[in-house]
Each structure stands twice: as structure tokens, then as C-alpha cells.
Chains A and B, each alone.
Chain A
Amino acid sequence: DSGVTQTPKHLITATGQRVTLRCSPRSGDLSVYWYQQSLDQGLQFLIQYYNGEERAKGNILERFSAQQFPDLHSELNLSSLELGDSALYFCASSPQGAETTGELFFGEGSRLTVL
């Protein structure tokens, strides 16, 4: 158990809909990262937040948005869903001072299926 909690674990929805994925980082970790993993693919970096502020952005679609709240939990919002958005969405956290290391703690992921 990494200490990173993601909900929901599984989500099935239809095209055109909107969903929100939630992540609670490890206690004390200020950074939250979101990654998308499609079937048999690598981990695509979406976005990073640090203590409530956006720090880095990857190839995140305009239909996707995220935020980190004062209690440090984060939400990833996916709208106008398409079949290709079906994937595992991982949240990860890292503590302050680990910004230059490669150690992230990953949650178990949210598996999104768009029908």
C-alpha cells in the first residue's frame, strides 16, 4: 500500500459524458501527478500540482482539467468523453525535497471504460 488513494477504482460511462477522478496523496506529500495508461501502453504524463498550484503540464487534452485543493487532494475532470479516453488513470505523489528524484508513490489507479 503506497498510501495514495484513488477513487473510484472502476468507472463505466458513455461517450459525451463527464467524470471526475479523485486522488488523496500520501500524508505530507505536496506534489500530485496524473498519468494516463492506455492498454499495453506506457504512462503518459498529464499534469502535476504542487501545494495547490499547477507545476508542469504534459499532453493533457483541453477536455481534461485538474486541480489540487487546500487539503492537497486532487481531482481530474474528464469531459466530452470519447472511446479513446478509456484507460487507467494513475495518480502519484511525492514529498517535498523529492522533486529532483524519480521516486513517486502511485495509487492503484482508476480504470475508466467509455462505451
Chain B
Amino acid sequence: GQSLEQPSEVTAVEGAIVQINCTYQTSGFYGLSWYQQHDGGAPTFLSYNALDGLEETGRFSSFLSRSDSYGYLLLQELQMKDSASYFCAVRALSGNTGKLIFGQGTTLQVKP
């Protein structure tokens, strides 16, 4: 089976940097994705890591260590609009395709 662990809540102030960690267990692994969801809205894709290392996209960066089954999402220069839930997800092997399994999500609250 697959399981992912991430903190349930994180609080930070505007302008700061925050890191959201994710550890996973899965049989077969393609890569780790991150999604953002604002209050009941549609989840939106942020990033995907298939190889070890850091991927940077603007203020957001994502890191993966396959050997440690660990990744994180780094948000820099936090803005109020970054207050949302953030989900890590793994692409796990399922037959000849990979199903995307999500963690329980981390609620980020950005304070002024």
C-alpha cells in the first residue's frame, strides 16, 4: 500500500520562509507532486519531482530524496494569499499505470 505523512498545520508570518515536509511509503514510485488547495476549491498543481534534488518555480521550490523517501515544499517571501492547504502526492505503481495518492494535507496560515 501507500502512505504519506505531512504536518497537519503550519503557521508563519508574511515575508517569511516555510518548509512543509512529506515522507512517504509506497510500493513502486514514479515521483512526488505538490498541490495547493484554497478553502474547498479545486486543487492546483504546484510541482513534481521525479529525481533527487531541488526544483524551483518562482517563490516555490520542491525537493526530493528518493533514498530517504522524503520531500519538502519550500515557500519563500510568504504572502497572505499563500494561506491554503498543501498536499503532497505520490505516483504509485498500479498495473501499467500509476495512481496518484494524496497525503492528508498541511494547512498553512500566513499571518500579517
Binding site for B on A (CB under 8 A): 2, 4, 33, 35, 41-45, 48, 50, 55-56, 58, 88, 90, 92, 99-109, 111
> Which A residues are in CB contact (< 8 Å) with B33?
101-103
Cα(A88)–Cα(B39), bound, Å: 12
Residues of B within 8 A of A90 (CB): 42-43
Which of B10-18, B74-82, B88-96 contacts the other chain?
A: B88-96
Give the Cβ gap from A16 to chain B, nearest Cβ, in Å: 26
| Chain A contacts for B97, CB-based, 8 A | 48, 50, 55-56, 99
Q: How many residues of B contact A (CB 8 A)?
A: 28
**Total A-B residue pairs with C-beta atoms closer than 8 Å?**
81
* A33-B104 in contact given A42-B87, A102-B33 (Cβ < 8 Å): no
Q: A45 touches which one: B40, B102, B104 (CB < 8 A)?
A: B102
Chain A min CB distance to B53 (Å) = 16
- Nearest CB in chain A: distance from B26 CB, A: 13
Residue in chain B with minimal CB distance to A88: B40
User: For residue B60, which residues in chain A have a CB less than 8 angstroms away from its CB?
Assistant: none
Chain A to chain B contacts (Cβ below 8 Å), 26 pairs: A33-B99, A33-B100, A42-B87, A42-B103, A43-B89, A43-B102, A45-B101, A55-B97, A55-B99, A56-B94, A56-B97, A56-B99, A92-B43, A99-B97, A101-B30, A101-B48, A101-B50, A102-B31, A102-B48, A102-B90, A103-B45, A104-B100, A107-B42, A108-B41, A109-B40, A109-B42
